[in-house]
Amino acid sequence: MPWAQIPADWRGFMATDARIRPSGALLLFAREPVPGQVKTRLIPALGAEGAARLYHAMLEMALEAAAAVPGVHRELWCSGAPPTDRICAGLALGRGMALHRQPAGDLGARMGWALSRALGRTDRAVLIGSDCPGYDARYLSAALDALTDHDAVLGPAADGGYVLIGLRRYAPELFTQMPWGTDGVLAQTRAVLDRLGWTWAELPALTDLDRPEDLAQFPALMASLAPQTHLE
């Protein structure tokens, strides 16, 4: 069987002691949380400042999840070239994470570069974004552990994309000619993995927070931002 579904009760999936796992790399892709430049589809509902605050909160949640994974090298890849006093730099420094500038190119080119670079130094690498409030340390650890006996691991997104991809080896086909931002990304990624003859595992699906209609799925997150953030 080329791929395996990690059980929905993935908290019980982790058989590997993280303290003895080969270190691996955990990469987090992010953007500077500048009003008007992040979560633009949420601006009609939250305003530019509110959307930026929400994104900043989700970024911090993803960073906290990554920081809680033991025995792994952590990197924050931020879009642009943030000077030392920008938010991404401070967040990386506060959690002992290496900070990198995302290179030029489309999303696939940037992700491919970061993963290929990491795989030049370690035996496995997992990349996540900063749009999903559902990450926690066990989810990320399950992805790293799945790479012990699979070539790749995917964390499906409810919208047809993915919230996580992990690799034990690199193939550029996974990041070229992909319909980024559409509901076809996950299916096309599976098709590429199948053509490559690779084995892969899939974690339970999580939900990205991208659209105003997604806000109702995260009442605790929204409540934690009130009264600073409110629906307009």
**pLDDT digits 0-9 by tens, 153-173:** 999 999 999 999 999 999 999
pLDDT tens-digit readout, 186-222: 999 999 999 999 999 999 999 999 999 999 999 988 8
Give which of 15, 18, 11, 7 is closest to 126, Cα–Cα. 18
Which domains does the chain show, CATH number per domain?
A: 3-8+25-210 (3.90.550.10)
List the strands of the sheet with 162-167, edge to edge: 3-5, 200-202, 152-156, 162-167, 125-128, 25-30, 73-78, 98-101
Distance in angstroms (rounded) separating the CA atoms of residues 4 and 122? 23
pLDDT tens-digit readout, 106-125: 999 999 999 999 999 999 99
In this prediction, residue 228 has a pLDDT band, given cuts at 50, 70 and 90, of low
- Residue 6 pLDDT more than 70? no
pLDDT tens-digit readout, 53-68: 999 999 999 999 999 9
Cα 191-194-200 angle, rounded to 5 deg: 105
For 3, 67, 209, the CA distances from 150, given in Å and listed in that order, are 8, 24, 29
Could you tell me the two tokens for 194?
């199948």
pLDDT given for residue 2 in this prediction: 64
Cβ atoms of 55 and 117 within 8 Å: the answer is no
pLDDT tens-digit readout, 28-42: 999 999 899 899 999
The residue to which tokens 């990349």 are assigned = 127
The single-letter DSSP state of residue 217 is: G
Strands (E), the chain: 3-5, 25-30, 73-78, 98-101, 125-128, 152-156, 162-167, 200-202
pLDDT given for residue 162 in this prediction: 97
Distance in angstroms (rounded) separating the CA atoms of residues 112 and 6? 24
Could you tell me the two tokens for 123?
């035996």
pTM listed for this prediction: 0.87
- Residue 94 pLDDT more than 70? yes
Percent above pLDDT 70 for the chain: 85
Phi then psi for residue 224, to 5 deg, are -70, -20
25-46 burial, b at 16+ Cβ within 10 Å, e below that, comes to: bbbbbbbbbebeebbeebbebb
Q: By 3-state DSSP, what share of the chain in percent is helix, strand and coil, each rounded to 5?
A: 40, 15, 45
pLDDT given for residue 79 in this prediction: 87
